[in-house]
A and B are shown apart, each in its own frame.
Chain A
Amino acid sequence: MSKKVLVVDDSPLIHNLIKRAVERSGNIVCGDAKNGKEGLELYRKLLPDVTFMDINMPVMDGLEAASKIREINNAAVIIMLTAVGDEETIKKASALGVNAFLNKPFDDYKLISALANI
């Protein structure tokens, strides 16, 4: 069964790359948001199976958005996307109980594998 995926990232490039890989793998991108605040609103509305969430974004960052999504649905599946994989960032994201990390740059194989392993 295909999964509904929400993409939250401030880069249109990342949106396009994820959309292409997700659709090739037989899943569906049900929505995309360019910051954490928009992502949170779309999460409430769409209730996706998986959310790809960037960390460094304007307005509301991905860590805060992930935390608020957890308040809505403690079982939400969140895959963090990050260019900054330093210990402190990983520690903060792990404390939120995110399901996986995907370091940028990623290729289609890594992204589809992360999606399949959830």
Chain B
Amino acid sequence: MPVNIFEPFVKSLSAIFEEMAGIEVKLESTVNSEYEEIAALGVVSVINFHGKIKGRVLLDMAPNLAITIAQNLMSEQFDDERDSMVLATVSEMNNIICGKAMVPINNELGLKLWMSPPYVFTGTDTMICISKIPSASFIYYTRYGKVKLNIAFEREN
């Protein structure tokens, strides 16, 4: 996968975590894989893309991190990552990260990408089965837990 496809997502994640939630992220590791399964950290949001290429972006974070972000945004206390507002927070965060990344991809590369509304689910160590597209995972450390960004794109048939 070319750098100019995944780089906007990586930059966008750091910027949005800081801007929306006031949380600093540090890149811990990067993994390139072709596996069809990913073990979830806790709260997962997926957005699918279509255009001149197709793919998906998966944002996965530790339950405590998801709860902290929701609390920072809403100024309310949440105790359970399954709370609808916590799920909505992770979902919208993925939507905003991907939306920001799409601007340079569409404006500079002319790939005419559009994205589906996000969907979200929870489950620590849940195995997520995904279509076999070569993907890159970026795993970040925050003081509230880990977050993973998994990016996969391929040419439209």
User: Which residue numbers of A lie inside 8 Å of B, CB to CB?
Assistant: 10-14, 16-17, 56-58, 82-88, 104-105
Contact = CB atoms under 8 A, between A and B. Distances in A.
A23 to B, nearest CB: 14
Interface of B: 16, 19-20, 70, 73-74, 84-85, 88-89, 91-92, 95-96, 98-100, 102-103, 106-107, 112, 114-115, 117
Instruction: Give the one of B95, B107, B114 with max A CB within 10 A.
Output: B95
Contact of B115 (A17, A84, A85): A84
A43 B67 CA distance: 34
B99 A82 contact: yes
A85 B117 contact: no
A56 B95 contact: yes
Contacts of A87: 106-107
A66 to B, nearest CB: 17
A56 B92 contact: no
Q: Which 3 A-B pairs have the closest CB atoms?
A: A83-B99, A86-B106, A84-B99
Contacts of B115: 56, 84
Contact of B88 (A12, A57, A82, A86): A12
9 contacts: A11-B95, A12-B85, A13-B73, A13-B89, A17-B73, A17-B74, A56-B99, A84-B115, A86-B106
